[in-house]
Amino acid sequence: MKIFRIHALICAGAQCLAAGGNGFEDALKDELKKHDLDEEVSLVETGCMGACQLGPLLVVYPEGVMYIKVKPEDAKEIVEEHFLKGRPVRRLMWKGEKAELPNLSEIPFFAKQTKIVLRNCGIINPEDIDEYIAQDGYEALSKALFEMTPQDVVQVMKDSGLRGRGGAGFPTGLKWELAFKQISDQKYIICNADEGDPGAYMDRSVLEGDPHSVLEGMAIAGYATGASKGYIYVRAEYPLAVKRLEVAIKQAKEAGLLGKNILGSSFSFDIELRMGAGAFVCGEETALINSIEGNRGEPKKKPPFPVVKGLFGKPTVINNVETLANVPAVIEKGSKFLRQFGTEKSPGTKVFALAGKVNITGLVEVPLGTPLRTIVFDIGGGVPEGHSFKAAQTGGPSGGVIPAKHLDVPMDYENLPALGTIMGSGGLIVMDEKSCMVDVAKFFLKFTVDESCGKCVPCREGTKQMLEILEHISNGKGEKGDIEKLEKMGNLIKLTSLCGLGQTAPNPVLSTIRYFRDEYEEHINNKSCPSNICKIEGGKNERKVAHRQTA
Amino acid sequence: MKERSLIDKLHEVQNGSKENYISKSEALKVSKRSKTPLAEIYGVLTFYTLFSEKPRGKHIIRVCRSLSCHMADANKIIGKLKETLGINVGETTFDKEFTLEESSCLGMCSVSPALMIDDIPFGNVEIDEIPEIIKKVKGGEL
């Protein structure tokens, strides 16, 4: 084994790469070579570290110093000053409030999080199975195979209280139990990695940063339910996730952790990747099954539920990426583990993708039930100076907004629906006073109109009609009675659509009307957009170019 | 099920096409080989936005239209791309280098506005850097 003096962890998550991480890494490698430091400094490409806004990120151990927004031209200084002379480059470090030169544990953004799902993200090299194993990876699978019966595993999952993190919050253990009880020659486990909600990218980061945790979760699910085959349905828009999954599956097979007779036991389990082709509705489980089978991704009627009759007509468990990444932690640490965090009905943590008008955007994992205020202000550092929090949007096109007066709402599966929104997959977009709620509603409805599969008339045509009304309102052509029409149509679409997409499509409109009815009225009655976003023809405030502050 | 699905086959055909699309003759071949009616092939092909029936450029530019990108003025990014390339969304440049498309969400919400050119992600995109990015991609530097 090689001993290194310095470990430099460079974030190779998609967000940091998009911000120019590749260029920096190449420059750093060049500098290390120039100074003959290749043998002393170990450069590790990790998955997402979370503080995506400040990327590209570099963490240097043993000090635990975090460098932010590094550019190729910074590499020379980091190598010459820090690596050679031991003097961290202050100008590139995270600016601390209390500690002048904070290490990771002193930065509130990291210190206030609880990492279960993201336990390895940003720490290990996702393309090296040994690093996952060194973090106790595949320990849970081994424990399940040799110390537990499938019933034991199901019982632990049930007792753990884990609920599906894809949005619906269905108890995972119960789903597994239903599948376990089915008698069939073949059963399937599907990992739903078709993350399509605008504003959500936590599944992507788990797949890119810790793919083995998902593979291990699937294998455990297979053992518990009697399935020998798994599919991961992943968006084609995530090429990096696809690549890392391919590497991970190959390594796991070579190590005997997937395939025939895993770890020498009688249990066999194989995983195959299936790529999507750009259809939001395929995140709906019956549509997803259709898509894996190679058909149009149209939803089917339930019942029969997939656990009874799913992929190729066989019993199928569909779990989301984040849910599966929880599984090894639960099996390894026992049924009480998740209950140390979160609430009674929603134990454990949730990863949120914090985006929009907030100082530090990125991935945030907190116990369920954490107040919205803590996430936005304590962890995310609040909205940029000079602006005020207006609302947060959760649940993407199926969700709604949370206005400032409800900032203290505990984020869990019970409290969010009471406010007319949902947890969804964890997208959390913060809006300031410059965001127009009619515009936001219009935005999501456009999305639904584009993504509706067209099977049900209320969803296909109804959302179009609603969008037309919203466009009139935002153009200054709204009429009295429009709001009521939107409410009536919205409720009708919810009641008469077949799948989750249609049933929730009107939510962004209904929710913004609920909390910002006055804004709609202002557009209709006074032909003005209070946030200066809508282009109102001949209106009082024809669009001025809104000043956008870069956070 | 060892057999690949129709979607896998269509991905393969499209990836193998120099013009990034699935031609009628290729669709016919798939239909014959897999003994699937052509109508069914097109039923699937036209359902998914990543498949194209018409020839596209060597590089596909996908601009994210998610809410966080929308709030970060993704519209201006699209405007600049249209201007730089001289095409509208859904069109291909005359030299067949670029096709401009929109995506509902590329999952890069923390570095909005974001776009992808083929498999390369770009985040925190500024209007002024767009001509440079296009030049580099065209010259094979990225």
Domain assignment of residue A13, yes or no: yes
A356–B68 C-beta distance less than 8 A:
yes
B48–A277 C-beta distance less than 8 A:
yes
Domain assignment of residue A515, yes or no: yes
Same domain, A170 and A32: no
Domain assignment of residue A391, yes or no: yes
Same domain, B65 and B116: yes
Asked if B30 is an interface residue toward chain A (Cβ–Cβ < 8 A), one would say no
What does the buried/exposed string (b/e) look like for A440-461 if buried means 16 or more CB atoms within 10 Å of the residue's CB?
bbbbbbbbbbebbbebbebbbe
Asked if B59 is an interface residue toward chain A (Cβ–Cβ < 8 A), one would say no
Domain assignment of residue B24, yes or no: yes
Q: Smallest CA–CA separation between B2 and chain A, in Å?
A: 10
- Among B109, B121, B124, the residue with its CB nearest the CB of A353 is B109
**By residue range, what is the domain housing residue B95?**
59-138
Report how far residue A326's alpha carbon sits from residue A332's, in angstroms, rounded to the nearest whole number. Answer: 10
Give A295's contacts in chain B (Cβ within 8 Å).
6, 44
Q: Smallest CA–CA separation between B136 and chain A, in Å?
A: 14
Asked if A384 is an interface residue toward chain B (Cβ–Cβ < 8 A), one would say no
Q: Smallest CA–CA separation between A55 and chain B, in Å?
A: 9
B62–A356 C-beta distance less than 8 A:
no
User: What number of C-beta contacts closer than 8 Å exist between A and B?
Assistant: 140
- Among A201, A296, A548, the residue with its CB nearest the CB of B109 is A201
Domain assignment of residue A486, yes or no: yes
pLDDT of the residue at A551: 36
Report how far residue A207's alpha carbon sits from residue A240's, in angstroms, rounded to the nearest whole number. Answer: 9
Same domain, A360 and A388: yes
Asked if B127 is an interface residue toward chain A (Cβ–Cβ < 8 A), one would say no
The CA distances from residue B33 to A29, A67, A274, B13, in Å, are: 49, 55, 21, 13
Q: pLDDT tens digits for chain A (551 residues)?
A: 688 999 999 999 999 999 998 899 999 999 999 999 989 999 999 999 999 999 999 999 998 899 999 999 999 999 999 999 999 999 999 876 666 667 788 888 999 999 999 999 999 999 999 999 999 999 999 999 999 999 999 999 999 999 999 988 999 999 999 999 999 999 999 999 999 899 999 999 999 999 999 999 999 999 999 999 999 999 999 999 999 999 999 999 999 999 999 999 999 999 999 999 999 999 999 999 999 999 999 999 999 999 999 999 999 999 999 999 999 999 999 999 999 999 999 999 999 999 999 999 999 999 999 999 999 999 999 999 999 999 999 999 999 999 999 999 999 999 999 999 999 999 999 999 999 999 999 999 999 999 999 999 999 999 999 999 999 999 999 999 999 999 999 999 999 999 999 999 999 999 999 999 999 999 999 999 999 999 887 665 544 444 444 33
Determine the residue of chain B that is closest to A358 in CA distance.
B110
What's the gap between Cα A239 and its chain centre? 16
Same domain, B34 and B85: no
Domain assignment of residue A550, yes or no: no
Domain assignment of residue A282, yes or no: yes
Among all chains, which residue has been given the structure tokens 């269509």?
A: B10
Say how many domains are in chain A: 4
Same domain, B64 and B102: yes
Cα atoms found within 13 Å of the Cα of residue A97, Cβ hemisphere only: 8
A296–B47 C-beta distance less than 8 A:
yes
Angle CA A473–A476–A477, to nearest 5: 70
Domain assignment of residue A333, yes or no: yes
Asked if B49 is an interface residue toward chain A (Cβ–Cβ < 8 A), one would say yes
pLDDT of the residue at A106: 84
Same domain, B65 and B129: yes
Asked if B108 is an interface residue toward chain A (Cβ–Cβ < 8 A), one would say yes
Residue B116, H or E segment: strand B115-117
Cβ contact A104:A59 at 8 Å:
yes
Q: How confident is the model at residue B1 (pLDDT cuts 50, 70, 90)?
A: very low
Same domain, B63 and B85: yes
A155-202: per-residue pLDDT in tens? 999 999 999 999 889 999 999 999 999 999 999 999 999 998 999 999
pLDDT of the residue at A542: 47
Strand partners, A44: A9
Mutation pick from B47, B110, B122, B141 vs chain A, by most beta carbons of A within 10 Å, is B110
Same domain, A276 and A182: yes
Cβ contact A140:A327 at 8 Å:
yes
| Pick from A296, A304, A347, A140: nearest CA to A224 | A140
Domain assignment of residue B1, yes or no: no
Same domain, B11 and B67: no
Domain of residue A476, CATH code: 1.20.1440.230
Domain of residue A103, CATH code: 3.40.30.10
All residues at 6 or more sequence positions from A171 whose CB lies less than 8 Å from its CB, including other chains: A158, A161, A162, A163, A164
pLDDT of the residue at A103: 77
Say how many domains are in chain B: 2
Q: Is the pLDDT of residue B61 over 60?
A: yes
Domain assignment of residue B51, yes or no: no
Q: What is the DSSP letter of A28?
A: H
Same domain, A322 and A396: no
Cα atoms found within 13 Å of the Cα of residue A460, Cβ hemisphere only: 7
Please write down the HEC assignment for all residues of B45-66.
HCCCCCCCCCCCCCEEEEEECC
Q: How confident is the model at residue B72 (pLDDT cuts 50, 70, 90)?
A: very high
pLDDT of the residue at A544: 44
Same domain, B71 and B129: yes
All residues at 6 or more sequence positions from B20 whose CB lies less than 8 Å from its CB, including other chains: B14, B52, B55, B56, B57, B58, B60, B99
Same domain, A355 and A414: yes
* Beta-strand runs (E) in A235-388: 270-275, 316-320, 349-356, 362-367
Same domain, A14 and A154: no
Q: Smallest CA–CA separation between B60 and chain A, in Å?
A: 12
B1–A278 C-beta distance less than 8 A:
no
pLDDT of the residue at A319: 98
Domain of residue B134, CATH code: 3.40.30.10
Report how far residue A363's alpha carbon sits from residue B109's, in angstroms, rounded to the nearest whole number. Answer: 10
A440–B67 C-beta distance less than 8 A:
yes
All residues at 6 or more sequence positions from A431 whose CB lies less than 8 Å from its CB, including other chains: A356, A357, A390, A391, A392, A393, A401, A440, B71
Same domain, B69 and B126: yes
Cβ contact B51:B58 at 8 Å:
no
Q: Smallest CA–CA separation between B111 and chain A, in Å?
A: 6
**By residue range, what is the domain housing residue A249?**
129-340
Q: Smallest CA–CA separation between A535 and chain B, in Å?
A: 14
Cα atoms found within 13 Å of the Cα of residue A311, Cβ hemisphere only: 27
Asked if B1 is an interface residue toward chain A (Cβ–Cβ < 8 A), one would say yes
Q: Smallest CA–CA separation between B139 and chain A, in Å?
A: 17
Per cent of chain B over pLDDT 70 is 98
pLDDT of the residue at A129: 98
Domain assignment of residue B118, yes or no: yes
A453–B67 C-beta distance less than 8 A:
no
Domain assignment of residue B50, yes or no: no
B49–A15 C-beta distance less than 8 A:
no
Per cent of chain B over pLDDT 90 is 94
pLDDT of the residue at A539: 60
B105–A196 C-beta distance less than 8 A:
yes
Cβ contact B92:B98 at 8 Å:
yes
Domain assignment of residue A247, yes or no: yes
Domain assignment of residue B119, yes or no: yes
Give me the count of residues in chain B: 142
Greater pLDDT, A417 or B3 = A417
- Among A18, A291, A447, the residue with its CB nearest the CB of B111 is A18
Q: Tokens standing for A509?
A: 């409109």
Angle of helix A507-525 relative to helix A463-475, nearest 10 degrees, comes to 30
| Residues B115-133, mean pLDDT to the nearest whole number | 95
Report how far residue A210's alpha carbon sits from residue A517's, in angstroms, rounded to the nearest whole number. Answer: 43
Domain of residue A362, CATH code: 3.10.20.600
Same domain, A176 and A257: yes
pTM (whole model) above 0.90: yes
